[in-house]
Structure 1
């Protein structure tokens, strides 16, 4: 009976109800659950004192939970009685049947336990385990349970829970063993749980006497061990990290790869498996551990060999260097991530959480142990010699993190104007005008005056382009808060691993990438990887085979007349010419036969002319090259192969088959033409329309806005030249100036409309704590709170033409804001159109609203 496991089947309706309940209680969990749950603190962090750890295994933890205990816990959590009754109804609706000799018995009701696979079950179990946490904490508070510390000033650690994975810590003594045993027995008697003592393990510190260790083991009823194994998949106790510590990762990756047959997969298929499966195997471990370089290199080798089709008995040529393969696709690679770099990017996340003052127990432990008198983000910080391997890993990740941190200006009193990174990718000291004497300790707020930025002072020591960038940064508004460090590699200022990994490619030029067009071609994935190899010029023709010393004969195997170079194989060989003659080549690339290989290839791949169908020539071109290469290989390796009599028909059939498959998989959207125009606000209410603009060539930004009353009459307007920045900067400044203008006009009830959906979402729904424009957005929210009634809504540009005219014209005047008590000439035409309710046509998705609140 010990091996029986109930299989829970939940209906769709039940799962919907269960998920609704989960959504109700999820926000409460943070307040109800102690930091010791869902925590991981490596055992090597514990100070050198006599202690023992008990790794507890609960037998059938889900199946044994008492329903009475669950109900009492829910009431203790102060959940509403109606919600408790609903939860208990879900739990107690369980019934079972037993399959005995192939026959199902009559169903019978369960008397305890919660379902495996029920969305509600994990939350119920965690709440029940919190009862044990309370019992332990009570024993600690009254001094019966003597917890251990990770450092002299660090927090006491008595237990760590993650679901049914339990770790208990106490000083090594007979009395403490009795206390731990009593707490567990009390909890088990209340909850119905049962400890599997034989599977549980006792670990004693090295300075614990053997006699005492045996006594503790006998009292607890669990065997002694010198290795607690893994907790949450990570080794708990180990000496110096070596390649053997994480050798299991290699075994997992090798096991996965050996189950796939390279010969039955295209290169694109192997690439997909690497990115989605094998590259993901070490991800969990890499979040908290710096893998040895040998492990990283071997993991990369496994992926590299699999990508090029190596097997145990045959090694294939690796056509392109691995460093190039691991570049992002826009830089000429395949986007496979190097393990060692990905490891550092994953570890950078731990450093980010420390920077954000993560409230978790793990952060408290590390800060007290290693950061009492040190700053992790100081360039001169180095980890102590005797620190744990986990802390060394976090420090390693932080070195990458600091490369992406920038300062967001608040009150300007913490950021050093010249040496901190806050406006440009490098410190401003690198851009100071020659001959100017500066004080490198100057803070940002010293460059403000009563009207904002001191433009005269800025212009005296910095180039104009940088001054224009500085002018778009909010200059110390009231209540703006302190300067903070944010992540400068994302648009919202929040860290993510992807952007951290991309730091390794900051030195590359991402603009106008010549590789972008390959991955946008409407062709099968295997043809995209084929085109990628073509563009690198590494296809294994006889010319390439001679370079690699695979052969001494570089002649074309078909015509026997010339070297089999790429340009000969795909363009000049008579066999290739016969294929090209079947197709009507567009005039724009018809006269490219005298170009070099790369120029000829690029010209065709960039040709977007469509032939008789909707298929672009660039896509057909790759299909043709693919079949030329395919038929060439059959000619070489198949004795009885004969060239097709009608190659054009075969290629066109393949193209049509792909297009047909694409049309079936595509999500068809119904579009319609909508007539849009500006609408007047209701009586007693005013309307503010705002817009921002950016000049692409110079990066100059500007904003404009207009206030009108319920009759459509002009009340006031403005346009502002803001300097150099992004379009969201312009839109946000437009909102700020528009709200200030409305307040100066003593308007109390107002509707605000913007054609920037991003701005509206940021203002209404997003957390702007770390946003680069957080200071300005917070000021806008503060201004909105000063109105009696206000609404902010997204509209299409066709309904915002007056503000659009004002914003575009703002680029033409000097930096600053201009108010218009009367309509300016450049906005009068759009204003008359709005007054006459002139509509403009826009193509929109059918069924979607024209505006988004």
Structure 2
């Protein structure tokens, strides 16, 4: 039905968990009832008075109360009768309470309208001037009048445009979470009508016990109540002797002194700060209040007034707000998490003509981050685990908090979460923290400083996990399981002699890549391995199990295999078709190596112009794909105004250090290099070194560290340092915590900077850093190389001449 309509009566069913007392709540039945209402575009109006409209004594004298009677209407009816209200009345004979619908009428408000700042005013060009003039005056009632007059003038102008009207209803609706999407004015207007009706005082019980709905009497009663509350009195304390104080009768006195039963205790102390106090077996019904709140916020009538982008935004805001306080304290049952996800899915996809909305993509894709092609909606279980992970992080870090000390003393008894086993008698809170930790355990690792606090075999301190996982079972009894990592560190370097007989070579290579402090002292520290700064966050915890993104960022339709990236992606197919390769009989070969061999002539050890063209197209597709990915999916071909850059000599009396790190992959075989020149631009010294398989960021920082060490060895104390890695410069200048993944090398750099009389570290573009780049490439291409250059190598002589001649390079 498209017209405004209202339905009221006995529906013989309930919608929310709080609508039943003494009986059971059945989510499936409630969902079915809700779906029927949604199919008719109806929503509950709400009611004042008693919550339950039906009650009956069942077996064992248990009284079951439910809200079976209600009034429901569509948004058109609620808009038409915005002042309407529903009252649950009392009944002396039937087990059902009658309900009354009072349509109200035009709201005749007496007196001046109270002043409220409207957000839409801020778009008026005269708004700043009016505010400045108002603040310059004495703060009195005339300002209120001026602003009220301004309000009247602005309303006519502001309501002319849809954008301003949307902002107006946005503020009035109090839906602070819907920030984007199409013009949602109808949604905000409907939400405002609902809020006004909910906040309206329909009646009061007067001091004489009478129920009053007369607006004039209600206003007088309110004024008198607050006047008596805030006005001062001169009552003498002696008057209390003449006041007749109420007393308890015999029955009430006995009830006060009676022993408190278990049921009374649970009923009166069921929650603390909104979180249920659970003991014994936990039931899904204990968490029904979460579903109830979600259902009230994600009502179907809202989905009909919002586009899909608005529904996604609202669903994410509600999911990130309502259950958070409970989820960071308790492990929510799996069934409750599934029900939460079901409600969110239902709201996002909506319904059409009484049928369930079409789910355009699967739920796994929806819950991926936006950068990976999803909508960024978090699953309830992942959110719950991530939030409890914050508590586990506090325990692992032994933070100085009362609850942490209590947990350690009651449950851990001198051990840690790694060795703690759940006990049936443990509290539900502790069980939730341990369960979350077990899920996140692989992400917590020890960053090695001196190695004294980390167990060599049992702790997780390498990316491969505890070393004991790689030890043969028959060897384990012969190991000293109390050995610390410090036992394989000598002179601030790894001493892995004898470890090759116990651990695989690739594990030992990973250990050698772990940096050790060489110029600073550092203790071992626990870090979270999924963030650059090493600190745990709920956001990183929620995405910890997603693994590497396998979806193609260009087409966002298929997994990015090698063949899909280079050939089968629609973007790549269009390029191959343009150059005439798509119709080749060998083009659709399924084996990637065979495909390349056939189309390059490598199979027959012959080559042609067409083979060279194939390789050029292949290389540029790969290059374009990487540029696309690094730009976050934006078109990498963007015209920019060329920037002219060149290398500059240091100030008089200073030396300049240029450094660079080069990794053939990230991570990959890497090298570092640096060059020192005086204030005339003349060569002073340089270095190149192969550093193994490293990341780009590590190589850049290590190059700066090596350059500082060389400068100190040469006695240079006034230094200008330049690097083309802006992120490294920021890390050095910022106060990065010890938990950072690269914290060890950053501490060494800061220690090395202290002996200098004057030192600065600045960013330089790569085009002006070609000498250092050449030295780093020498190191990355020569495994085992470690060289300090007294004279410049031939590979960088042209770059040196270009710098000496102040050659300008174009940076597009």
Same fold (TM over 0.5): yes
Q: Distance in 1 between matches of 2:270 and 2:115?
A: 28
CA shift, 1:364, in A, is: 4.5
Match of 1:503 among 544, 550, 563: 544
For 1:351-362, list aligned pairs within 5 A. 351-362=392-403
In the alignment, the residues of structure 2 paired with residue 766 and residue 305 of structure 1 have an alpha-carbon distance, to the nearest angstrom, of 46
Over 3 Å counting, the alpha-carbon distance change for 1:593 and 1:315 in structure 2 is farther
Instruction: Determine the C-alpha separation between the residues in 2 that align with 1:594 and 1:449.
Output: 58
* 2: CA distance, partners of 1:438 / 1:703: 38
- CA gap of 1:316–1:749, structure 2 versus 1, over 3 A, is closer
1: CA distance, partners of 2:579 / 2:780: 41
Match of 2:52 in 1: none
1:399 aligns with 2:438: yes
1:486 equivalent in structure 2: 527
Change (3 A) 1:731 1:805: same
Query: In 2, are the aligned partners of 1:720 and 1:807 still within 8 Å (CA)?
Result: yes
Indicate the residue corresponding to 1:422 in structure 2.
Answer: 461
The residue aligned with 1:709 is: 678
2:806 corresponds, among 837, 847, 851, to: 837
Distance across 1 between alignment mates of 2:529 and 2:358:
41
1:823 aligns to what? Answer: 792
Query: Structure 1 residue 462: deviation in Å?
Result: 4.8
Q: CA deviation at 1:670?
A: 8.7
Counterpart position of 2:554: 517
1:385 to 419, 425, 428: 425
Alignment of 1:668-679 (within 5 A): 671-679=640-648
Q: Relative to structure 1, is the Cα distance of residues 489 and 8 closer, same or farther in structure 2, using a 3 angstrom cutoff?
A: same
Q: How does 1:376-775 map to 2 (within 5 A)?
A: 376-382=416-422, 385-387=425-427, 389-431=428-470, 441-450=482-491, 452-454=493-495, 457=498, 462-477=503-518, 479-506=520-547, 510=548, 513-519=550-556, 671-696=640-665, 699-775=668-744
2:243 maps to 1:274: no
SS at match of 1:737: helix
| Structure 2: segments with no counterpart, 5+ residues | 1-112, 123-134, 151-170, 172-229, 232-252, 260-264, 562-576, 592-633
Q: What's the secondary structure of 1:504's corresponding residue?
A: coil
Pair 1:294 & 2:316 matched: no
> Does structure 1 residue 787 correspond to structure 2 residue 787?
no
- Counterpart residue number, 2:6: none
8 Å contact kept, 1:686–1:708: yes
Show the counterpart of 1:309: 350
> What does residue 168 of structure 1 align with?
none
1:334 deviates by 5.5
Shift in Å at residue 781 of structure 1? 0.4
- Cα 1:242–1:312 change in 2 (3 A) is farther
Aligned to 1:257: 298
Query: Secondary structure of 1:787's partner?
Result: coil
8 Å contact from structure 2 (residues 303, 350) kept in 1: yes
Measure how far apart 1:288 and its partner are.
2.0
Please give the secondary structure, in 2, of the residue aligned with 1:838: coil
CA distance in 2, matches of 1:816, 1:441: 37
> Cα–Cα, structure 1 residues 686 and 232, in superposed 2: closer, same or farther, change >3 Å?
farther
**Cα shift readout 1:462-490 (whole Å, capped 9, x = no counterpart):** 55544443333233535422111100111
Aligned to 2:101: none
After the TM superposition, which residues 72-471 of structure 1 pair with which residues of structure 2 at under 5 Å, given as runs? 211=256, 227=268, 233-235=274-276, 241-260=282-301, 270-278=311-319, 280-310=321-351, 313-316=354-357, 322-323=363-364, 326=367, 335-371=376-412, 373-382=413-422, 385-387=425-427, 389-431=428-470, 441-450=482-491, 452-454=493-495, 457=498, 462-471=503-512
Supply the distance in 2 between the matched residues of 1:434 and 1:231 (Cα, whole angstroms). 49
Contact 2:447 2:525 in 1 (8 A): yes
Distance 1:317 1:240 in 2: 38
Q: How big is the shift at 1:751?
A: 1.1
RMSD of aligned residue pairs (Cα, Å): 5.0
C-alpha deviation, 1:782, in angstroms: 0.8
Match of 1:814 in 2: 783
Instruction: Tell me the secondary structure at the aligned position of residue 459 of structure 2.
Output: coil
Change (3 A) 1:683 1:465: farther
How far does the alpha carbon of each residue in 1:485-513 deviate from its partner, in whole angstroms, 9 at most, with x for none?
1001112211122322223334xxx36x2
TM-score, normalization by structure 2:
0.56
**What is the rounded CA distance, in whole Å, between the counterparts of 2:347 and 2:324 in structure 1?**
19
> Are 1:383 and 1:395, in contact at CA under 8 Å, matched by a contact in 2?
no
Q: Encode CA deviations 1:143-187: one digit per residue, 9 max, x unaligned.
A: xxxxxxxxxxxxxxxxxxxxxxxxxxxxxxxxxxxxxxxxxxxxx
Kept in 2, the 8 Å contact 1:448–1:475? The answer is no
Listed one character per residue, the Cα deviations across residues 605-632 of structure 1 (whole Å, up to 9, x for unaligned) are: xxxxxxxxxxxxxxxxxxxxxxxxxxxx
Q: Residues 415 and 359 (structure 1 numbering): CA distance in 2 closer, same or farther, change over 3 Å? A: closer
Q: Does the CA contact (< 8 Å) of 1:412 and 1:476 recur in 2?
A: no
> How far apart, in 1, do the equivalents of 2:492 and 2:414 lie?
39
Aligned mates of 1:261, 1:594 — CA distance in 2: 55
> Matched residues in 1 for 2:462 and 2:287: separation?
42
- Contact kept, 8 Å, 1:376 with 1:395, in 2: the verdict is no
Tell me the secondary structure at the aligned position of residue 285 of structure 2: coil
Bigger Cα displacement from structure 2, 360-369 vs 803-812: 360-369
**1:697–1:370 CA distance, 2 compared to 1 (3 A):** closer
Contact 2:328 2:387 (C-alpha < 8 Å) held by counterparts: yes
Cα distance per residue 1:684-730 (max 9 Å; x no partner): 11111111111128711211111111111221211121111211111
Corresponding position of 1:805: 774
Secondary structure, counterpart of 1:491 in structure 2 = coil
CA 1:363 to 1:6, structure 2 compared with 1: closer, same or farther past 3 Å?
farther
CA 1:381–1:97: 2 relative to 1, 3 Å: farther
Supply the distance in 2 between the matched residues of 1:433 and 1:688 (Cα, whole angstroms): 49
- 2:623 match: none
Matches of 2:715 and 2:527, distance apart in 1: 37
Compared with structure 1, are the counterparts of its residues 826 and 591 closer, same or farther at alpha carbon in structure 2 (3 Å cutoff)? closer
Tell me what 2:85 maps to: none
The alpha carbon displacement at 1:771 in A equals 0.7
1-side partners of 2:315 and 2:584: how far apart? 38
Contact 1:731 1:756 in 2 (8 A): yes
Q: 1:349 to 1:749 in 2, by over 3 A?
A: same
Mapped to 2, the partners of 1:504 and 1:672 lie a distance apart of 42
Looking at structure 2, the residues matched to 243 and 434 of structure 1 have their Cα atoms a distance apart, in angstroms, of: 43
Residues 1:424 and 1:837: Cα distance change in structure 2 (over 3 Å): same
SS of residue matched to 2:656 = strand
1:552-582 CA deviation, whole Å, 9 max, x = no partner?
xxxxxxxxxxxxxxxxxxxxxxxxxxxxxxx
The Cα shift of 1:434 comes to 12
Residue deviations 1:579-600, cap 9 Å, x none? xxxxxx957697599999x99x
- The structural deviation recorded for 1:246 is 2.9
Deviations 1:208-260 (A, max 9, x none): 9975799xxxxxxxxx9963686654457988653333323212222333244
